[in-house]
Structure 1
């Protein structure tokens, strides 16, 4: 997905001179094509993420459309104060790109895991949050984020994420994309966890459960129209995310349901409330976190859904 980000940004920057990239001494070769024709708009800010956020805010105030890019925990948690005051409070159109989100860097331990980033960004006024599931979703949504002219957190994967769409999906910022219509319950997934949601959907279908499968690429603002429809049609909603269950996408859905007096039950699946270490791969980490089809169906069965 990071390769797709670099490619799309390079193509967009050829026709839009407002686009500027600040990166924190990562992906140097990745951005070589951009440097070749726009070296003055491809700025290595060094391992100084807080300065990078403030530099981008100043650039935005001068009429640019800046991106800041580095590994997810370093582009959100490490420079949270600068994002809050310089970007969100000033309502500057900076796109904060977090690469390697969730468990992408599982083997590097908690310093490189990002289970709290959606919660942090959700708490900021003016901030939008978009989590594409694959490179195709990234390519479709990225130009739309630029046109928002607003602060945005773009939570992307690392590399080799599988494609989740058979054709070209009609994706719109702020609108959930229904991949499979269903009648029994809804599975709402955001970001790179979507292949697991597809596997869960297939497992439920094998059990005779006609579930609806939805890519909820935009976490903030949530698609209120879809959620209104879902709460009217289903008694159960399952949310999936590679993020802590506290404060993330599932929490946002649960809050929305509660605030609108819906009787639907929300079943949240994500990272439990503990740190994950001593793992060698994202798959190994998901097993430890209970993010497998077997674990999820087991919990659903214990709740009387299966």
Structure 2
């Protein structure tokens, strides 16, 4: 995803000289093509993410469209006051990019695990929050936040993610994308954990359960219309996120569901169950330990269906 982001941003910046990229002293292997081709549109702010964010806000208020780039929690949680006061409050055209959402940097410990960023960023007024699920969505999301006026947050994976879409037509901020139709169960996913949701969907189908599958590249504004439609059509909605289940994507879906009147689906939220990881390991390993792998998703869905006595025939 990060390579896709950089390639897309280079194309954008070549056409718009007001685009500027600021890094917090990292990503040089990935960002090298940008600074080599566009040296006057690139700044290394050093390991000083608060300063980077305020600097970006100042440039944006002078007419620039500024992208800040760092890993995990550093461009978000470390600089949250500057994002709130300097960027969001002024509706500044700052695009905050996190590479390494969730457990991407799992072996570096909880300081590098980005598992509260979606909830914190979506709580800030006027901040648009995107978490693309694959390379195609990452490209469209990069272009979308560039075109969108105001402060945005883009949460990326790291590298090696699968290309799941052949192409995505009519990508829009605030719109979910239906991947496949199904019955009784609908699986909603946001971010790079989409690959686990796809595999879980295929495993469920082999077991006689045919879930519908949706990806939500936008967490805020959430696609309320799709949620409402699915709540009426399906018995169970499963939300999958590589993030704390408190305040994130599952909570955003649940907020819409809570205001519905009449018969509606049950919600099963799959994510990190309100804890910090005290374990280090690969992203794949930690997903499984904390119940977000494809096999664990299948187990949880089957458990709820059995508990609810939902007839799938």
Q: State the 1:31 CA deviation.
A: 2.2
- Residue pair 1:174, 1:223 contacting (<8 A) in 2 also: yes
Pick which of 78-87 and 292-301 moved more. Answer: 292-301
Corresponding residue number in structure 2 for 1:244? 244
Corresponding residue number in structure 1 for 2:19? 19
Q: State the 1:275 CA deviation.
A: 1.7
Q: Structure 1: how far apart are the matches of 2:129 and 2:305?
A: 33
Q: State the 1:272 CA deviation.
A: 1.8
Corresponding residue number in structure 1 for 2:294? 293
Q: Structure 1: how far apart are the matches of 2:202 and 2:291?
A: 18
Q: Structure 1: how far apart are the matches of 2:180 and 2:100?
A: 27
Corresponding residue number in structure 2 for 1:224? 224
The CA deviation string for residues 14-33 of structure 1, in whole angstroms up to 9 with x for no partner, is 11111100110001242222
Alignment of 1:105-254 (within 5 A): 105-165=105-165, 167-170=166-169, 171-254=171-254
TM-score (norm 1): 0.96
Q: Structure 2: how far apart are the matches of 1:93 and 1:260?
A: 34
The CA deviation string for residues 42-70 of structure 1, in whole angstroms up to 9 with x for no partner, is 00000000001101111110111000000
Size of the alignment, in residue pairs?
305
* CA pair 301-168 structure 1, distance change in 2 beyond 3 A: closer
Pick which of 292-301 and 156-165 moved more. Answer: 292-301
Q: Structure 1: how far apart are the matches of 2:32 and 2:174?
A: 32
- Residue pair 1:271, 1:289 contacting (<8 A) in 2 also: yes
SS of structure 1 residue aligned to 2:154: strand
- Residue pair 2:60, 2:66 contacting (<8 A) in 1 also: yes
Q: Structure 2: how far apart are the matches of 1:16 and 1:121?
A: 27
SS of structure 2 residue aligned to 1:74: coil
The CA deviation string for residues 139-181 of structure 1, in whole angstroms up to 9 with x for no partner, is 122111111111110000111011112x211222211000001
Q: Structure 2: how far apart are the matches of 1:292 and 1:135?
A: 20
- Residue pair 1:72, 1:97 contacting (<8 A) in 2 also: no
Shift >3 Å, 4+ stretches: none
Q: State the 1:3 CA deviation.
A: 1.3
- The answer to whether 1:59 aligns with 2:49 is no
Q: State the 1:298 CA deviation.
A: 2.5
TM-score (norm 2): 0.94
The CA deviation string for residues 161-208 of structure 1, in whole angstroms up to 9 with x for no partner, is 11112x211222211000001122110000101111011111111122
- Residue pair 1:60, 1:94 contacting (<8 A) in 2 also: yes
Corresponding residue number in structure 2 for 1:40? 40
